[in-house]
Structure 1
Amino acid sequence: MASSNRSRRVPTGQLLFGGIIVLTGVLLLLETTGVVSTRDALLYVPSLFVLVGVWSLLQSRLRNLVGPVVLIGVAGAWQLVVLDYTTVDDVVAFWPVLVIVFGLSVLLGQYRSAVRETNDDYTNSFVAFGGVEKRNTSTQFTGGDLTAIFGGTELDLRDAAIADRPAQVNAVALFGGVDVVVPREWNVRLDVLPVLGGASDDRARAEHRNEDVDLVVSGFAAFGGVTITD
C-alpha cells in the first residue's frame, strides 16, 4: 500500500490542470465584478499551462513527449503574444510545426511499445495532443486519474485485482477519449457527466456479473467520450 500512498501524494497533471482552470476562473470573476483588479495576474496564465506540460513530461519520465511538448509550445507562444514579445501573425507562420510534430508522433508510435505496464495501486495518466495506453497488474488496485485533452488514453485492468471495493477512477475527456478496459464480470458504476459528449459501458452482457460494485468511474466528458470496454 506504500506505493499507493506515494502516488496519492504526488500532484498529477490532472490536478494541476484543474487547479489552473479554477484559479483562472477566480481571477476572471474578481476582474469582471470589480472586486480586485487581476488584469496583471491574468497576463501570466499561459505560463501556468506551460507548467502543466513540463510537469507531465517529468511525471511520464520523458516517455510521453509529443503531447506535453505541443502544450508547452502552444502555451509558450500564447504567453509571448500576451506579453507583446511577438505577434499572432508571427506565431501563425509557424503552424506547420504542428504538422511536423504530429508526423513525429506517428513515427515514434511505430518504434516503441504503445502499452506501458504498471503495478502501482493508483494509476495516473495525463494526455494532451497524443495517446497513451497503460496496463495495470496490481493485486491491490485502488483507482486512478485519467485525463485526455485532444488525445486519448486507455487503462487496461483485466490483469488487476481489487482488494477494497469499490475502486475509484476519475476520468476527464476534453475533445478526446478515455477507455477503461475491465473484466466482463466486474460490476462497474458509471457516474460520468457528459457535456456535449458521451459516456457508455460497451461490454457485452455477461452471464455472471458481481453483485457488489467493483469499480466506480466518475468525471465528465466534453466534446469527447468515456467508455468502459472488455
Structure 2
Amino acid sequence: MSDQQTQFQQHFEMKIGQNRGPGFGFWFGIAMVIIGGGLLLDAFNLLEFGEIFDQWWPSLLMLIAVAQLATGSGSIVGSGIMFTIGALLQLSKLEYLPGGFWSAFWPIVIILIGISFISSRMRQQRWKKKEPFVDPNFIGTVDVEGSRIDRTAIFSATDARVVSSDFTGGELTAIFGGIEIDLREATMAGPMATIDVTAVFGGVEMRVPQDWRVVTKGTPIFGGIDDKSLNRNLTASSPTLIIDATAVFGGVEIH
C-alpha cells in the first residue's frame, strides 16, 4: 500500500471517528440510564416519572440535537430540524400553541421552502461559471458535467445523471418532492467526496458506481436512510462517498 493511500485511510478513519466519537454516545447513554431509572422508580410508585416524562419528553429531542452539534456527530441541518421539531412539540405540550403542533409546523415548512429557493439561487450564481446553467427544479433527466451536483425539488421531481470526471460532491434537497441522481458514470476528483442530503416529506434516490465505498451518516426523524450498496468487492484504493443525510418524514436510498 502506498504512503498516499495510508495517509488517506488514516485521515478518513480519524474523520469518521470524530463524527462518531464517544462524546455523543456517552451523553446519550447517561440519558437512557436516567430515563430507565425514572421508569423503574415509577414502577415501584416511588416517583411519578411517567407524568413528568409525558410532559417533557420533547425536550429530549432538543437535547439530542444540541449534543449532536456539540460533538460533531450530526449535520447542522439535521440537528436544526430535530431541535425545531422538539421545540414545537414541547410548546404544544405546555399549551403555548393554541392550534397545536401542526399550526406552527406548516409555517416553518413554508419558511424552509423559501430558504431553499434562496439557497438554490445562490448556488446557481456560485457555480454558473463552472458548468452550464441548469434549473435546480428542472423536471426530467439532465447530464451534469461539473464537479458538483446541487439539486432542489420542492413539490416537484428532478432527475440527473452525473458524468463528471472530477466529481467533488454536492447538495440535494427534496421538500414534498423527489430527486433521482445517477452517479454510475462519474469519477471522483480525489479519494473522497461528500453529498449533503435533506428529505422533508420527500425522497432522494442515488445510484453509485460499484467501485465506490459508501459511508452514510445522518439523522432520520420519522424517516429512513437506506443504504443498499453494501457487500461490494472494494479495494483499499476505492474512492469513498460520504452521504450526510437528514430524513424528516421522508426517505433516502442509495443503490
Could you say which TM-score interval applies, normalised by the shorter chain?
A: 0.5 to 0.7
Q: Distance in 1 between matches of 2:111 and 2:223?
A: 29
Please say if residues 186 and 210 of structure 1, whose CA atoms lie closer than 8 Å, have aligned partners that are also in contact.
no
Q: Distance in 2 between matches of 1:152 and 1:117?
A: 17
- Aligned residues, how many? 145
Aligned pair partner of 1:144 in 138, 150, 170: 170
What is the match of residue 234 of structure 2? 209
Residue identity (%) = 31
> Displacement, 1:51?
6.8
- Structure with max Cα Rg: 2
- Which deviations, in whole Å up to 9, do the C-alpha atoms of 1:69-93 show, x marking residues without a partner? xxxxxxxxxxxxxxxxxxxxxxxxx
- Which deviations, in whole Å up to 9, do the C-alpha atoms of 1:126-164 show, x marking residues without a partner? 110010011111111000000000111011110100121
Moved more, 54-63 or 172-181: 54-63
Gaps of 5+ in 2: 1-76, 92-107, 125-132
What is the match of residue 131 of structure 1? 157
> Displacement, 1:62?
5.2
Please say if residues 127 and 147 of structure 1, whose CA atoms lie closer than 8 Å, have aligned partners that are also in contact.
yes
- Which deviations, in whole Å up to 9, do the C-alpha atoms of 1:177-225 show, x marking residues without a partner? 111110123110011211111011123633x223355200002111111
**Superposition pairs for residues 177-192 of structure 1, below 5 Å?**
177-192=203-218
Please say if residues 189 and 213 of structure 1, whose CA atoms lie closer than 8 Å, have aligned partners that are also in contact.
no
**Superposition pairs for residues 19-168 of structure 1, below 5 Å?**
50=114, 52-53=116-117, 56=120, 59=124, 64=137, 114-168=140-194
Q: Distance in 2 between matches of 1:62 and 1:169?
A: 19
Shift in alpha-carbon separation, 1:164–1:158, aligned structure 2, 3 A:
same
Structure 1 runs (4+) greater than 6 angstroms displaced: 45-48
**Superposition pairs for residues 163-178 of structure 1, below 5 Å?**
163-178=189-204
Gaps of 5+ in 1: 1-17, 33-44, 66-108
Q: Distance in 1 between matches of 2:119 and 2:246?
A: 23
CA RMSD of superposed structures (Å): 3.2
Q: Distance in 1 between matches of 2:252 and 2:190?
A: 24
> Displacement, 1:64?
2.9
